Amino acid sequence: MARRYYIHTFGCQMNESDSQRMGEALKRSGWDATAAAESADLIVINTCAIREKAEDKLFSALGRYRLLKAQRGTRIGVAGCVAQQEKDALLKRAPFVDFVLGPDHLDKVSQLVEQGGVETDFIDSHQYLFPQADAETSRGRATAFVTATKGCDNVCSFCVVPYTRGREVSRPYAEIVREVAGLVAVGVREVTLIGQNVNSYSGGCTFADLIRRTASVPGLLRIRFTTSHPMDLSPELVRCFFSEPKLMPHFHLPVQHGADTVLERMRRKYTIAEYERRIAELPGKIALTSDIICGFPGETEAEHEQNLEFLRRTPYDNLFSFIYSPRPHTGAILKMAEWGEVPREIALCRLEEVQALQMARTLQRHRARVGSEVEVLVEDRGFGRSRENWTVHFQGDASVGDLIRVRVESASLVALRGLQAGVVAKAPPAEAPPRRRLAVVSA
């Protein structure tokens, strides 16, 4: 029987996609996936380092998996951003870990399982090759992530990503379009182009051009992308929202803070006036979402008020807000003594104020849809997403990949609920899987 692997993924879409690539590499080496860590011969934890809390999750997971190792000899690997950040120090802290694998080396996972060790050197940007997704992994799904860039060349002073993911590299557009076509052939109808700073894409064409080339894949219905930096929002990309029908009216454009003085300390390279000028160009019906950090070093009461004031006048559809978490190597941690740490209780109060403000608004926006119809791409039985990326639960018999209309009957903070009211497009039959070659055993 084939040996079995289990991958535990923390963090962002990039990590989800990386876990899929690692799974594919393991399959090519004869491993099978299992849905239960208890029955695995190998557990890989794909980690996130964006905030300290995310990092803590690694160590509590390791505590659990260590027992499995003691009981059944399970091999344990740590991949992702904490692996990249800690390198061999991780083996000192958790000596029962068999291998440590940085995000540039996903294809080496099978090799490292056998030989153990640490593989965390960054690959030179000019030599980096993006792993190609195996479309079969996405068979039976309506949506898929497609990597467009990796790494980040910005130096936002709170962010550890440039240190864990390295320099920004763009994937050649032909590779991306080929991957999208392969995904559509197995039934995928929506792709999200992903990258830490995806709108600074430069893989042989502009990002807007990449969207248009992706849109030209027949059978693809929807395109999204994430995450973007406001400084890389080009007029051409803005025009795409007006002219490209497959590009969904949802834009995640993190502002991080509403006060210029904080933005400067964060090294975000724009002012609030510039940000507002840019978003004013976007189509009115777009669902704009953002990230906010509360309690950034030196944040005064007046700056927090400016943040709230900005949020009150900016009609965000949704907001992801966080308490600042000091990260190793970053600009802000080095300046902490000079700028001053915001006490945790104060940061928490400010976060609650930001969240209360947004929650009321999100709820109001969701409720305004009650009685109307939304177009939903079905991702699972009774579940899908609207064009604006709202979660929709519905009653009806639509299958995965169908594009339907749902009449909204009720709304909560996190989702709309309703009844299937019609079908816009049935999912076409997916191409048959390639036939497995039978192994020839010679006597």
Task: Report the interface residues with ligand SF4, using CB under 6 A.
Answer: 152, 154, 156, 159, 161-162, 196-197, 229
The tokens 């903070």 sit on which residue? 413
With respect to ligand 5AD, which residue has the nearer C-beta, 158 or 201? 158
**Residue 186 binds which entry of ligand SF4, ligand 5AD, none, with Cβ cut-offs from 5 to 8 Å by kind?**
none
The answer to whether 68 and 74 have CB atoms below 8 angstroms apart is yes
With respect to ligand SF4, which residue has the nearer C-beta, 251 or 394? 251
**How near is the Cβ of 433 to ligand 5AD at its closest, in Å?**
36
- DSSP secondary structure string for all residues of 204-272: SS-HHHHHHHHHTSTT--EEEEE---GGG--HHHHHHHHH-TTB-SEEE---B-S-HHHHHHHT----H
CA angle 248–249–253, rounded 5-degree value: 110
Residue 295 CA to residue 107 CA, distance in Å, equals: 39
Binding to ligand 5AD in span 141-180, by CB under 6 A: 158-159
With respect to ligand SF4, which residue has the nearer C-beta, 53 or 381? 53
**Residue 154 binds which entry of ligand SF4, ligand 5AD, none, with Cβ cut-offs from 5 to 8 Å by kind?**
ligand SF4
**Mutual angle of helices 235-243 and 207-215, in 10-degree steps:** 20
Site string for ligand 5AD, 267-296 (x = CB under 6 A): ------------------------x-x---
The answer to whether 222 and 190 have CB atoms below 8 angstroms apart is yes
**Residue 353 binds which entry of ligand SF4, ligand 5AD, none, with Cβ cut-offs from 5 to 8 Å by kind?**
none
Q: Helix %, strand %, coil % for the chain, to 5?
A: 40, 20, 40
**Residue 197 binds which entry of ligand SF4, ligand 5AD, none, with Cβ cut-offs from 5 to 8 Å by kind?**
ligand SF4
Binding to ligand 5AD in span 291-350, by CB under 6 A: 291, 293, 322, 324-325, 327
With respect to ligand SF4, which residue has the nearer C-beta, 4 or 171? 171
The answer to whether 224 and 190 have CB atoms below 8 angstroms apart is yes
With respect to ligand SF4, which residue has the nearer C-beta, 161 or 408? 161
**How near is the Cβ of 107 to ligand 5AD at its closest, in Å?**
26
**Residue 50 binds which entry of ligand SF4, ligand 5AD, none, with Cβ cut-offs from 5 to 8 Å by kind?**
ligand 5AD
Q: Which strands sit side by side in the sheet containing 318-323, from one edge to the other?
A: 250-252, 287-294, 318-323
**How near is the Cβ of 248 to ligand 5AD at its closest, in Å?**
20
With respect to ligand 5AD, which residue has the nearer C-beta, 8 or 268? 268
**Which of 19, 47, 200, 256: binder of ligand 5AD (CB under 6 A)?**
256
The tokens 């870990």 sit on which residue? 97
**How near is the Cβ of 160 to ligand 5AD at its closest, in Å?**
7
The residue whose Cβ lies closest to ligand 5AD is: 291
For residue 329, give both structure tokens. Answer: 């190597």
**Residue 44 binds which entry of ligand 5AD, ligand SF4, none, with Cβ cut-offs from 5 to 8 Å by kind?**
none
**Residue 322 binds which entry of ligand 5AD, ligand SF4, none, with Cβ cut-offs from 5 to 8 Å by kind?**
ligand 5AD
**Residue 327 binds which entry of ligand SF4, ligand 5AD, none, with Cβ cut-offs from 5 to 8 Å by kind?**
ligand 5AD
- DSSP secondary structure string for all residues of 134-157: -GGGGTT-SEEEEE-EES-----T
First to last CA, the chain: 21
**How near is the Cβ of 152 to ligand SF4 at its closest, in Å?**
3
With respect to ligand SF4, which residue has the nearer C-beta, 269 or 365? 269
Residue 144 CA to residue 222 CA, distance in Å, equals: 11
Q: Residue 414, Cβ neighbours under 10 Å: how many?
A: 12
- Phi/psi region, residue 113 (left: phi>0; alpha: psi -120 to 50; beta: rest), is alpha
- Phi/psi region, residue 146 (left: phi>0; alpha: psi -120 to 50; beta: rest), is beta
Sheet strands (E) in 27-96: 32-33, 42-47, 75-79
Indicate whether 50 belongs to the interface with ligand 5AD (CB under 6 A). yes
The footprint of ligand 5AD (CB under 6 A) covers 50-51, 158-159, 254, 256, 291, 293, 322, 324-325, 327
